[in-house]
Amino acid sequence: MIRILVVDDSPAVRELLAHIVSEAPGLVLAGCAADGDEALRMAHELRPDVVTMDVQMPKLNGFDATRRIMQECPTRVIIVSGTENQGEIGASFLAIEAGALMQVRRPLGIGNPGHAASARELVRAIRAMAEVRVVRRWGAAARAARPVRGRQRRLVLIGASTGGPTVLRDILAELPPGFALPVVMVQHLAPGFTRGLAEWLSSASGYPVALASDGLRLRGGMAHLVPDCCQPAIDADLCMRLTDGEPEHGMRPSVSHLFRALHPDLRADSVAILLSGMGRDGGAELKQLREDGALTIAQDRASAVVYGMPGEAVRLDAAMLVLRPAEIGKMLHGLTSEAAAMTRTYGI
């Protein structure tokens, strides 16, 4: 049984979440907290398997409560947001930075036509996160192979899921201003959080990040996140294409689609990176990119919150390099001289 601590300052929301948890097979309501101070105390006392955490609360807010919980009694934390306000959505990424695993939308109220589907989404997230190991470090880092030199690269593609936002921050923080290679990222998130992630990454890493748009010409000096509910492709002229294609591995956008829908003329000139996340999204396609001449990288086991996606890449021998996040950033930084030559050649 998975024991849940519900944290929200609204009595009505606490009652709603408690009802959903209590009705779900395999879940048990361990307790409810009305603010961050109470959440911290109850996390110590009850030792729940998962905490659902509100962001805006009196006394200790959700960000500080998450940070304290992760310092004092590490527990799986899911941020539950009930607002469309981009400021609050952006603030929720501070809780991700503090150690929360993911964000989900607050389920709709009983009687709302969308209640059942939104409640199932919360239950699915709780069950999935309950499988994540709380301890983030499991020993020495994997040894990295030496990079393949001599090939001019034109593009960086990155795929991530659970645990990905802070890894993306660490990678982008290593890139110099005006880094010559365009960066395109797929990060699995609940709908509505991608714009907030882009804003948080820009602020936290110091490297500019924006949402991609259909027809966008990709250029250096900027990273782009693929937005919600669309599948990405990249043309030979480095133009972004966004479609309403079917989900892959249950995801839209999916990493597999990004890697596979890269134009053949760009495949050998690209760097493709697979980061922390559940499942196998992107693994087989990373292997194909390696066979096509791309430089392929997977995050190492020691630094990954969830080793599913990078682990699948390693199992398939899809990754030429296995690196920690900061090492990935430094390696990309080291491609700057090659990218400068590329810029002169291709005029990007």
Reduced to 3 states, what is the DSSP secondary structure of residue 26? coil
For 14-144, list the strands marked E by DSSP: 27-33, 50-53, 76-81, 102-105
**Among this protein's residues, is 188 annotated catalytic?**
yes
Backbone φ, ψ for residue 198 (5° rounding): -60, -45
**Among this protein's residues, is 37 annotated catalytic?**
no
Query: How far, in Å, CA of 240 to CA of 235, rounded?
Result: 7
Q: Among 81, 92, 161, 270, which one carries the catalytic annotation? A: 161
Integer CA distances (angstroms), 97 to 73, 160, 204, 261, in order: 17, 15, 9, 31
Q: Among 9, 54, 170, 188, which one carries the catalytic annotation? A: 188
Question: Taking the CA of residue 228 as centre, how many other CA atoms within 13 Å lie in the half-sphere pointing to its CB?
Answer: 9
CB distance 121 to 148 below 8 Å: no
Reduced to 3 states, what is the DSSP secondary structure of residue 252? coil
CA dihedral 187, 189, 194, 198 (to 10 degrees): -50
**Could you give the residue ranges of the DSSP H alpha helices within 276-324?**
283-291, 308-315
**Among this protein's residues, is 237 annotated catalytic?**
no
Q: Among 8, 35, 170, 281, which one carries the catalytic annotation? A: 281
Residues serving a catalytic function are 161, 188, 281
